[in-house]
Structure 1
Amino acid sequence: MVLTEKEAQGFVFADPGKGIPAARKWTLIGKVYSPRPLNRSVLERSMHRAWGLHHEAQFRDLGDNLFLVHFSGEGDWKHAR
């Protein structure tokens, strides 16, 4: 997402190098609603089967059961979203 100068006014970006990496094609952010923390590797295996992915997907734990998922191709990305 790109903000215009007017939209960015009032935002304070303490450390732009931390947190979510730069945008890449075929990337989604998802949240797992569970009272317990979820293991990234368990989520990765489960979602690969549930989505029926043809290629590997890279999962990154962003904390609070929030995950960034980068797909290897547009077909898998469209199917998962």
Structure 2
Amino acid sequence: IWVSKSDKLIEDAQRDWSALGMERLLVTPLSRFRQGTPIRLSEGILFTTYATLRTDERGEKLSRVGQIVEWLGSDFDGVIVFDESHA
């Protein structure tokens, strides 16, 4: 998971990931998945913003954090990057 200040920084994230020799399109924005729907991503990096993480539940739709936690599952073994956290 890559959390950043602005959704416009996804291009920087994709560039940085590509510079490591990886496929840039493996960095996928959370906005591609509607709130409350399952995240259908079997591999790669889920990109989101701090503001998006503050999105509350809406009716029966999970919060964005809840949506991510559900996607990660109880056996999550990965990395969470907090980009631009100084801002």
Normalised by the length of structure 1, the TM-score is 0.28
The structure having more radius of gyration, on CA atoms, is 1
Q: Which has the higher strand share?
A: 1
Q: Which has the higher contact order (CA 8 A, sep 6+)?
A: 2
Q: Which has the higher helix share?
A: 2
